[in-house]
Chain A
Amino acid sequence: MIKRGVFLFLFLSASPVFAGDEKPPMLAHPYVLVTMLLMIAILYTYLLTAKKGKLPFIRTLPGLKAIDEAIGRATELGKPVLYLSGLGDVDNIQTLAALSILSHVAKKAAEYDTPLIMPSMYSVTMVTAQEVIKEAHLRAGRPDTYNPDNVYYVSDEQFAFVAHTNGVMERMRPAANIYMGAYFGESLILAETGHATGAIQIAGTAETSQLPFFVVACDYCLIGEELYAASAYLSQDAKQMGSIKAQDVVRLIVLGFILVGSILETVNLPHYADFFQKVLGGG
């Protein structure tokens, strides 16, 4: 039964509608399309369920609890909070997740009347972050305390940005450093400098290669998808919470695929084994 089901999916998704040899097919990458539509369907199912008031249970991520504590600590010490949205521009989804998280951080900081410093590597990220923070101050009922000078552009050059940010950490001694978004070779330089200045450090990135450095050098680290989940979780919006649940459902499906696939592979069903290679051979 399971086998039949799997093969039906394979058959449906692996049959492109080719029109000729020269022209591109009418429908390219059908398997990707099926997967995408399936994910959209799952997402909307849970969005609607959540919207009806049936909020899913989502466990607390330790890194997120720490954000509020870190801002609180900065307030007690009378020191600023440093927020970095990574080394990606707004065309990177990680940066957008970082800006979403910023919206929460900025509101908390505004409520506590703690300055939030944000050097930025890109112009558009800078102006977008300014809007996010301004809006957060409005929501916190403190529009008067918004200071656009605290969000500023440094340089599009990775290490010039790092050189400046390191200097800021040493001079301003922020009590909390929050690094969210895409990071590359500089992650450890930032995190170690931050540690040396005695700041509480919370990081979150989906860059697999940089996770080890943040895990070692920071107090808390959101690993991979936790960065995206965090932006949804912090919004405390029903629809956003539903999307985390949907993410889990897709995970269960993938886990099921791995389990069933491995079993089928073990009992030696070559058709199944070749499936992904075949369908992906076309791009």
Chain B
Amino acid sequence: MQRQIPMFIVFVSGLTMIVDYFFPRVPYIQGAREIFLNWGRIALTFAMILGIMNLLMSNLRKVALRKAGWIYNVILLGSFALTFYFAVQYKMVPSGNTFITHKGTDMGSSGTMSFASKIFLDVYTPLSGTIFSLVAFFIASAAFRAFRAKNIEAILLLSSAIVVMLGSIPFGDSLFAWLGLEHILGHRNFSWLSTQIQQIPMSAAQRAINFGVAFGMVFMSIKILTGIDRSYFGGGGE
């Protein structure tokens, strides 16, 4: 029973979406998709409480037990409390550099800005951007490592990466001329070569991956809806 009711709910809610899609005139089900999406969003926001509680409790416990590095947990808890206190008072819809409070007041990026929007602009945004920008260093280090690979697959990967990269910078065209590739490929350049690679082998292979992903997704979906695969509920497959 413990597993059967959830399985039944999975089946019915999934089937409702399928019926809504294929038979749009079925009474009661008509327009269920939008309603379910709305319910799902609301439900998942409620569920966030589980995560937030987990975060707060585990950090509080570490502080209480004075575990190694507990001061960092204090920093986390402090920034959470401060942000939550101010953010919950103001509903901010980020739009460019201005924020709109739930009271309907427009606030500029300077002067009258609330403390909550300051946190967003001066803490959240720069940290998010900087962590993302780390990828620029890693994209170079990973490519450098790939240079050492000696099999044909790695060479193909690296060559197409280099061509496409050179095709997107002006330096590529000067290099093309300097290498004398114009004599072989006529009046073409790296950007032409890059376009060809992206349009022919790349799109061909990506189509194949997408086909496969679809097969996998469709069968996984059917297995989930019919309860054949319930391992995500801790059932270990059966």
Docked-complex contact B146 and A239, CB < 8 angstroms: no
Q: In chain A between 184 and 232, which residues have their CB closer than 8 angstroms to a CB of chain B?
A: 185-186, 188-189, 191-193, 195, 206, 208, 211-213, 215-217, 223-229, 231-232
Q: Report A116-142 CB contacts with B as 1/0, cut-off 8 Å.
A: 000010111011100111111001000
Q: Report B23-49 CB contacts with A as 1/0, cut-off 8 Å.
A: 111000000000000001000100111
Docked-complex contact A39 and B222, CB < 8 angstroms: yes
Docked-complex contact A33 and B229, CB < 8 angstroms: no
Task: Determine the chain B residues whose CB is within 8 A of the CB of A206 once the complex forms.
Answer: 213, 216-217
Q: In chain A between 70 and 113, which residues have their CB closer than 8 angstroms to a CB of chain B?
A: 89-91, 93, 96-97, 99-100, 103, 107
Q: Report the separation of the CA atoms of residues A186 and B44 in the bound assembly, to the nearest whole angstrom.
A: 23
Q: Report the separation of the CA atoms of residues A128 and B219 in the bound assembly, to the nearest whole angstrom.
A: 21
Q: Tell me whether A235 is interfacial, beta carbon within 8 Å.
A: yes
Task: Determine the chain B residues whose CB is within 8 A of the CB of A259 once the complex forms.
Answer: none
Docked-complex contact A231 and B231, CB < 8 angstroms: yes
Task: Determine the chain B residues whose CB is within 8 A of the CB of A251 once the complex forms.
Answer: 211-212, 215
Docked-complex contact A224 and B213, CB < 8 angstroms: yes
Of the listed stretches A23-31, A61-69, A272-280, chain B binds: A23-31
Task: Determine the chain A residues whose CB is within 8 A of the CB of B64 once the complex forms.
Answer: none
Task: Please report the total number of A residues contacting B with Cβ < 8 Å.
Answer: 88
Q: Report the separation of the CA atoms of residues A29 and B19 in the bound assembly, to the nearest whole angstrom.
A: 11
A-side residues, CB < 8 A to B, are 19, 23-30, 32-33, 36, 39-40, 43, 47, 89-91, 93, 96-97, 99-100, 103, 107, 120, 122-124, 126-128, 131-136, 139, 149, 152-160, 162-163, 185-186, 188-189, 191-193, 195, 206, 208, 211-213, 215-217, 223-229, 231-232, 235-237, 239-240, 243, 246-247, 250-251, 254
Task: Determine the chain A residues whose CB is within 8 A of the CB of B52 once the complex forms.
Answer: 123, 153
Partner of B44 from the list A32, A124, A213 (CB cut-off 8 Å) is: A124
Q: Tell me whether B171 is interfacial, beta carbon within 8 Å.
A: no
Partner of B216 from the list A25, A133, A186, A229 (CB cut-off 8 Å) is: A229
Can you spell out 10 A-B residue pairs with CB atoms less than 8 angstroms apart?
A100-B232, A123-B54, A153-B51, A163-B131, A225-B215, A227-B216, A231-B220, A232-B223, A239-B228, A250-B215
State the Cβ distance, B42 to closest chain A Cβ, in Å: 13
Docked-complex contact A153 and B234, CB < 8 angstroms: no
Docked-complex contact A149 and B219, CB < 8 angstroms: no
Of the listed stretches B100-108, B111-119, B134-142, B189-197, chain A binds: B134-142
Docked-complex contact B231 and A132, CB < 8 angstroms: yes
Task: Please report the total number of B residues contacting A with Cβ < 8 Å.
Answer: 58
Docked-complex contact A135 and B21, CB < 8 angstroms: no
4 A-B pairs with least C-beta separation:
A228-B216, A123-B51, A235-B237, A153-B51
Closest to B56 in A: A153
Task: Determine the chain A residues whose CB is within 8 A of the CB of B9 once the complex forms.
Answer: none
Work out how many contacts link A and B, with CB atoms closer than 8 A: 210
Task: Determine the chain B residues whose CB is within 8 A of the CB of A135 once the complex forms.
Answer: 234-236
Q: Report B115-135 CB contacts with A as 1/0, cut-off 8 Å.
A: 000000000100110011011
Q: Tell me whether B175 is interfacial, beta carbon within 8 Å.
A: no
Q: Report the separation of the CA atoms of residues A43 and B215 in the bound assembly, to the nearest whole angstrom.
A: 11
Q: Known contacts being A28-B22, A103-B231, is A240 close to B223, with CB within 8 Å?
A: yes
Closest to B223 in A: A243
Q: Known contacts being A93-B224, A243-B228, is A163 close to B127, with CB within 8 Å?
A: yes
Q: Tell me whether B50 is interfacial, beta carbon within 8 Å.
A: yes
Q: Tell me whether B181 is interfacial, beta carbon within 8 Å.
A: no
Interface centre among A93, A128, A226, A239 (most CB of B within 10 A): A93
State the Cβ distance, A32 to closest chain B Cβ, in Å: 7
Task: Determine the chain A residues whose CB is within 8 A of the CB of B134 once the complex forms.
Answer: 189
Q: Report the separation of the CA atoms of residues A211 and B202 in the bound assembly, to the nearest whole angstrom.
A: 13
Task: Determine the chain A residues whose CB is within 8 A of the CB of B135 once the complex forms.
Answer: 185-186, 188-189
State the Cβ distance, A106 to closest chain B Cβ, in Å: 9
Interface centre among B25, B50, B143, B232 (most CB of A within 10 A): B232
State the Cβ distance, B107 to closest chain A Cβ, in Å: 22
Q: Report the separation of the CA atoms of residues A188 and B157 in the bound assembly, to the nearest whole angstrom.
A: 16
Closest to A193 in B: B138
Docked-complex contact A26 and B228, CB < 8 angstroms: no
Q: Known contacts being A99-B232, A185-B135, A235-B231, is A216 close to B157, with CB within 8 Å?
A: yes
Partner of B210 from the list A132, A208, A243 (CB cut-off 8 Å) is: A208
Task: Determine the chain B residues whose CB is within 8 A of the CB of A134 once the complex forms.
Answer: 234
State the Cβ distance, A276 to closest chain B Cβ, in Å: 14
Q: Known contacts being A29-B22, A251-B211, is A126 close to B128, with CB within 8 Å?
A: no
